[in-house]
Structure 1
C-alpha cells in the first residue's frame, strides 16, 4: 500500500492538469466568443505556416510562364501571379514568414523590454532616470520609421527585418512593464527577500518578473500583430524580405498597382491574409486581457 500510493498520485496529476486545462479552454470559449474566433484564426495561420511543405499544392517559387495571371480555378484556387506562381501556395508559405518574423520580433523585443523594465523599476535612482530617457528617445520615433532606419543600417533580409522590428518594440514593452514593476517593488515581500540576503538577480527573476507576466503576455500578442504589419510594410516598400521568399507584403508589392484592374486577386488575397491574421491576433489578445484582468473579467 505504501509503495503504490505515490504511483497513483503521480499518474493522477497529469490527468488533473489536462482536465483543468481543458476546462479553462472551454470557459474561455464560452465567455469570449470573439476571442475564440480570433484564436481560431491564429491556429489556422499557425497550421499553415508550420505545415506549409505538406499543405501547399505547388512549389511557391516555381514559375509557370504559360499560366501567368490566371484567374482562380480548380487548378489554382486563388489564381496565379505575374510569374505564373500559385497564389495559394505563396500565401501558405507567406504565413511561415509572417509567423517567423512576428513571433521572433515579439518574443525577443518583449523579453528584452521585460528585463529592462523590471531592472529599471527595481534599481531606480540614476539608473532608472538615464534608462528612461534613452527609452523616451527611442519611443519618439514611430515603429515603422525606426524599422526603416535599422534596415538602412543592416540591410534587407529576414534576419535584418527581425532586428529592425525588434528594436522599436523594446522601449514600448519596457515602459509598460516598468509601471507594473514600480508597484511590485513596494510590496513587503521584496523587502523581505532583500533582508534574507538574496541577490538582485534572484529578486528580479523570481520575485518581480513573475508578477508582471499578465501584462507581458498581453503585450506579446499585440506585438505579434504589429510585427506582421511592419514586416508587410517593409516588404511592400522593397526593404524587407526579398524574392524569391514568399511574403505577403512582397506579394502586394508585385501586383497591387500594375495588375489592380486586370488581375486583382494578386493583391486581394495577400491583403486578406494580412488583415485576418492581425485581426485574429488582436481579438485573441483583447480576450486574453479580459480574462487575465479580474476587474474586466467580472465586468
Structure 2
C-alpha cells in the first residue's frame, strides 16, 4: 500500500472517530450487513421453504402468534403466510449481494478502460470516452430496462445490466485522475526504464486513482441497490423465487388501501435505512479523502 493510500485511510479513520453521524452510519451499515449474512441462521423461518409456510397465517398483523408453528410474527406476514422479518432479512441479503457484486465488477472494468484511455490516448481514448458519453446521455433506468428486456430476468441478468449502467462512471473518474498522473516524473521514469504498459497501469497509475474510485464505488452501491429495487418493483428485476427488498415492497403494494400496510412498509424502511447508512458513510469518507472538502 502506497503512502498516499495510508494517509487517505488515516484521514477516513479520523472522520469516523470525530463525527457522530458518520460513526452512526457505519454502525448501522455494519449491523445491516451482519444481519444479511447471518439471515439463514437468525431468521425465524425460511420464507421460501413451502413446508414452513401456512396459508392460514396470511396477512397477519405485526405481533401475531402462530398457533401451529409457535412463531411470533413481530412484523406480520404477507399474503402467503411468510414471516415479514425473515423475508426482509433474506431480501436484504440479496439486495446487498446484487449491489456489491455489480459495483465490484463495474469498478474493475471501468477502471481498466479508463486507465487504458488515459495512457494510450488517441483513437483508443476517443473511442472509449465516446461510448461512455453515449451511455451517460441516457437515463440509467432506461438502459437497465432495455438490457433486461433483451436478456430476460434473473440475478445474473440484473447484475449484468447494473454493470453496464455503472462502468462509465469509473472509466471517466479513472481517466481524469490518470491524465494528471501520466505527466508526472515517475511515469516518465517508468517509461524510460522500459516497463511494460500493463505494469505501469497497475503498479503506478492505479494506486493513485484508488481514493476517488473508492468514493464513487461506495456511492454507486447505494445507487445500484435503489435501481435494482426499482426494477424489481416494476416486475422486471429479480424473480419471485429470489426476491429483494424492492420485490417485497411490490408484493404488498396492492394491499395498502385495505389497511395491510406492513407488507410494504417494513421492507421499505429496511431499504431506506440501507441506502441512508451507505450515503452517510460515503459522504464523510469523501470528505476524508479530499482535503478541500474537510471542515
State the TM-score, normalized to the length of structure 2: 0.90
Deviations along 1:93-115, one digit per CA (max 9) or x if unpaired, are 11110111000011001111111
Is residue 40 of structure 1 aligned with residue 3 of structure 2?
no
Q: How does 1:86-97 map to 2 (within 5 A)?
A: 86-97=83-94
Distance apart, 1:25 and its partner CA: 7.9
* 1:31 correspondence with 2:18: yes
Verify: 1:116 aligned to 2:116, yes or no.
no
On the 8 A contact 1:110/1:220 being kept in 2, the answer is yes
3-state DSSP of counterpart to 1:58: coil
For 1:124-135, what aligned pairs fall within 5 Å after superposition?
A: 124-135=121-132
Contact 1:109 1:167 (8 Å CA) reproduced? yes
1:26 deviation in Å? 6.4
Question: How far does residue 144 in structure 1 lie from its aligned partner after superposition?
Answer: 1.1
* Correspondences of 1:173-192 after superposition (within 5 Å): 173-192=170-189
Change beyond 3 A, Cα 1:25–1:201: closer
| C-alpha contact 1:60 1:246 (8 A) present in aligned 2 | no
Counting only pairs closer than 5 Å after superposition, residues 238-257 of structure 1 correspond to structure 2 as 238-257=235-254
Partner of 1:53 in structure 2? 40
1:72 aligns with 2:72: no
Distance (Å, rounded) in 1 between the aligned partners of 2:77 and 2:275: 24
CA positional deviation for 1:23: 8.6
Specify every segment of 5 or more residues in structure 2 that has no aligned partner in the other structure, as ranges. 1-6, 65-71
1:170 aligns with 2:167: yes
User: Aligned equivalents of 1:166 and 1:106: distance in 2?
Assistant: 7
| Aligned residue pairs, count | 278
Give the whole-Å Cα distance in 1 for the aligned partners of 2:121 and 2:73. 60
Structure 1's consecutive aligned runs of 4 or more residues displaced over 6 angstroms after TM superposition are: 22-26
Please tell me the root mean square deviation across aligned C-alpha atoms, in Å: 1.8
Instruction: Report the counterpart of residue 266 of structure 1 in structure 2.
Output: 263
CA contact (8 A) 1:260 1:267 kept: no
Q: Counterpart of 2:141?
A: 144
Structure 1 unaligned segments of length 5 or more: list them.
1-19
Pick from 205, 210, 213 the counterpart of residue 208 of structure 1.
205
Q: 1:97 to 1:289 in 2, by over 3 A?
A: same
**Which 10-residue stretch deviates more, 77-86 or 246-255?**
246-255
**Residue of structure 1 in register with 2:151 after alignment:** 154
Q: For 1:3-58, what per-residue CA distance to the aligned partner results, in whole angstroms no more than 9, with x for missing partners?
A: xxxxxxxxxxxxxxxxx9x9988633332222112111211121111101111011
Distance in 2 of aligned mates of 1:138 and 1:164 = 12
Counterpart position of 2:234: 237
1:53-97 CA-to-partner distances (Å, cap 9, x unmatched) read 111011112432111111100610100011110000000011110
Do residues 84 (structure 1) and 81 (structure 2) align?
yes
CA–CA distance in structure 1, aligned partners of residues 256 and 46 of structure 2: 22
Work out which of the residue numbers 274, 278, 294 in structure 2 matches 1:277: 274
**Within 1, Cα distance between the matches of 2:19 and 2:173?**
25
* Cα contact 1:150–1:164 (8 A) shared by 2: yes
